[in-house]
Amino acid sequence: MRRPLTARTLSIRLAIAILVLVGASLLGLMFGAESPSLVEAFRTAGQERFIFVEIRLPRLFVTALVGGALALAGAAFQALLRNPLASPYVLGISGGGALGAVAALLLGLDVVLLGVSTRPLFAFAGCLGALGLLALVAGKRGRIRPHTLLLAGVVVNAFFAALIAFITYVVDPTHAIRIVRWLMGGIHLTTGPERLGAFLVLAVGTFLLLLESRALNLLVLGDESARQLGVDVDRCRRRTFLAASLLTAAAVALCGPIGFVGLVVPHAVRMILGPDHRALLPVSLLAGGAFLVLADVLARTVRRPEELPVGIITAFVGAPFFLWLLAGGRRRTFYEES
């Protein structure tokens, strides 16, 4: 029996999560294809400072942002569907973003306009298209049906994957290579407007989900129980679904479809801290950032000076974890207990 969450306990958990993220960030700054001295970088104005300020700091910001967005979205989807296997990747929203980016590459619309790449815009549009398709299939009279939504996500994801495979097969080899590399998921150089836009989406999505944290605690007890306790179940589902989908769209638009972050991180946090979403959501946000930063460190160092797509690293970690969950090797979660 876990103790009730108090303000002091919540503060301690958030402080520990922040320290973990800071520690991971320091590793992200110090290790890569080259390992210049962090102290020397801020003493001189040479190449080492350029590497840290112009390359690694923006990359670190994007990596933590994307990891946090995917983990937070995963935690929200798992609560929304009362299923610990739910994630943005499984629901097909990442696949929609991937299809949008692939379409931009195929049609020659992947250009730089006013200093900003148009590919993230198409990826974002693809995510929103997948969101609309899921809402159309799984929604009935304004209500989102959890079981139908999960099944629809699996089918939509498979359909998008088939379309992407077809496009990759028929295009010329140059475009096919670009498509395959992007689909692996990677941390790319981004512009200031792209980072600002992603940060604003993350801030709005996080705020909306934190507002629903108490309602999500009651929603996992079942729709009828939540309604009896004063929760507007349909409105809570719509807001949570929209906010989590926007977070996923922003992440995919920046870095491509990086899988398993939204599955592994929130489930691991829940196993450690328990099911209270007042702590689960913000800690998942911070832990997701730390997880992807560490995965990016591995991606940059395991075959130095070459760099692996970070999606490969997260798959190596996430796929065995996913199989472990399916095999029933986990402790009972609050979804099963409720």
**More confidently predicted of 23 and 93:** 23
With beta carbons less than 8 A apart as the criterion, state whether 143 and 261 touch: no
pLDDT at residue 135 above 60?
yes
- Cα(168)–Cα(149) distance, integer angstroms: 28
Dmax of the chain from CA atoms?
Answer: 64
Cis preceding-peptide flag for 305 (omega within 30 of 0): yes
Which structure tokens are listed for 235?
């409105």
**More confidently predicted of 4 and 134:** 134
pLDDT tens for each residue of 88-99:
888 888 888 888
pLDDT at residue 2 above 70?
no
Average pLDDT in the chain: 81
**More confidently predicted of 154 and 109:** 154
**More confidently predicted of 329 and 278:** 278
Which structure tokens are listed for 10?
């919540």
Categorise residue 328: left if φ over 0, alpha if ψ from -120 to 50, beta otherwise. left
**Residue among 211, 281, 280 nearest 239 (CA):** 211
**More confidently predicted of 190 and 166:** 166
Q: Going from the N-terminus, what domains does the chain have, and what CATH number goes with each?
A: 7-337 (1.10.3470.10)
Which structure tokens are listed for 35?
């390992």
pLDDT attached to residue 285? 95
pLDDT at residue 330 above 60?
no
pLDDT tens for each residue of 38-78:
656 566 666 667 777 778 888 899 999 999 999 999 999 88
Q: Please report, for residues 22, 279, 333, the alpha-carbon distance to residue 272 in angstroms, rounded to integers and kept in the order given.
A: 20, 11, 11
- Cα(28)–Cα(298) distance, integer angstroms: 9
Percent of the chain with pLDDT over 90: 18
**More confidently predicted of 32 and 81:** 81
Span 328-335, average pLDDT: 51
Span 297-301, average pLDDT: 89
Q: Please report, for residues 10, 20, 210, 281, 328, the alpha-carbon distance to residue 274 in angstroms, rounded to integers and kept in the order given.
A: 12, 18, 16, 11, 18
pLDDT tens for each residue of 175-213:
788 788 878 888 877 777 777 877 888 888 889 999 999
CA angle in degrees (0–180, nearest 5) for 35-39-42: 105
pLDDT at residue 85 above 80?
no
Span 97-102, average pLDDT: 84
**Residue among 73, 102, 83 nearest 338 (CA):** 83
Span 244-265, average pLDDT: 86
With beta carbons less than 8 A apart as the criterion, state whether 71 and 261 touch: yes
Q: Which residue has the tokens 């890569």?
A: 32
156 CB-contact burial (10 Å; exposed 0-12 / middle 13-18 / buried 19+): buried
pLDDT at residue 332 above 50?
no
Span 129-134, average pLDDT: 82
Angle between helix axes 57-81 and 277-301 (nearest 10 degrees) is: 140
Amino acid found at 97: G
List beta partners, residue 292. Answer: none
**Residue among 71, 55, 142 nearest 285 (CA):** 71
pLDDT at residue 224 above 90?
no
For residue 51, give the DSSP letter: I
pTM of the entire structure? 0.86
pLDDT attached to residue 38? 61
